[in-house]
Amino acid sequence: MQTLTETGNSPILTYNVWWDAGTGTININLFESPTALTYTIGSLEPGQAYQFVVRASNIYTYGTFSDPETFAPSGVPAIMSPITT
Choose between 72 and 79: higher pLDDT.
Answer: 72
Comparing 10-14, 46-50, 58-62, 73-77, which segment has the lowest mean pLDDT?
73-77
Residue-level pLDDT at 1: 54
Q: Over the chain, what is the mean pLDDT?
A: 86
pLDDT of 83 strictly over 80: no
Residue-level pLDDT at 48: 93
What single-letter DSSP state applies at residue 68?
Answer: P
What single-letter DSSP state applies at residue 52?
Answer: E
Q: Which domains does the chain have, with CATH numbers?
A: 5-71 (2.60.40.10)
Residue-level pLDDT at 22: 92
Amino acid identity for residue 70 in this structure: T
Q: In what order do the strands lie in the sheet with 28-33?
A: 28-33, 14-19, 50-57, 69-71
